[in-house]
Amino acid sequence: MDPLFERSWQRAWAALGAGAPQGLGERLLASYAEPQRKYHTLQHLGECIRHFEPALGLARHPGEVEIALWFHDAIYEPRQSDNELRSASWAVKELEATGLPAEVVERVHALVMATRHAALPESDDERILVDVDLSILGAEADRYAQYAAQVREEYAWVPGWIFRRKRKALLREFLVREPIYGTQHFRDRFEARARENLENEIRRL
């Protein structure tokens, strides 16, 4: 396992106070390497971990946020709309098997579901996880352009005019949020550049 992933994996389970199920980390990493993925990959997971590490101290339950980070895109099929639900269900199955308390399992389920971005996150930990997931919006211009191209590649089967319409609608949903990021930590780092990136992509589309 890559040192970044190993460090994160061990830290998450230590914070949870439980032992990781045998081989689970490798299975999750393998899922992020599936061929249908172009953005929701090991690159994305690694970037999320790097952005989460400086914010560890902000989390009420850092182990729960970090393990939810591992599971948030564990199942990803571009043609399906229930990826987060299936990923959250996988997390529940694995965490329950370790004997963790029901309230911990329930919070991790809610954390993974918050990354659907269908509604504003409710808890402090959900805000941190969602901000981590959305950190790509505030990436430097070259990485953002790569991200946009990766998303289009994941949806290569969608006709161009439909993709452009739906993509613009999604980007505008993020732009109308005031602010985009729910925590000051991520707002300070990414808010201004995220708005610039979103506006630029909408113009290009």
Query: CB–CB of 147/136 below 8 Å?
Result: yes
pLDDT given for residue 51 in this prediction: 98
Question: Hey, what long-range contacts does 87-91 have (CB within 8 A, 24 or more apart)?
Answer: 87/112, 88/112, 88/113, 91/67
Side chain identity at residue 77, one-letter code: E
Give the pLDDT of the chain (205 residues) as one tens digit per residue.
Answer: 899 999 999 999 999 999 999 999 999 999 999 999 999 999 999 999 999 999 999 999 999 999 999 999 999 999 999 999 999 999 999 999 999 999 999 999 999 999 999 888 989 999 999 999 999 999 999 999 999 999 999 999 999 999 999 999 999 999 999 999 999 999 999 999 999 999 999 999 9
- What the block records as the tokens of 84 is 């987060």
Domain 3-204 has CATH 1.10.1300.10: yes
pTM: 0.96
Sorted by where each begins, the domain ranges of the chain are 3-204
Query: CB–CB of 104/96 below 8 Å?
Result: no
Q: How far is CA 185 from the centre of its chain?
A: 17
pLDDT given for residue 201 in this prediction: 98
Residues 6+ apart with CB under 8 A from 151: 38, 39, 167
The alpha carbon torsion through 135, 141, 142, 148 (nearest 10 deg) reads 60
- Rounded CA-CA distance 190/44 in Å is 16
pLDDT given for residue 120 in this prediction: 86
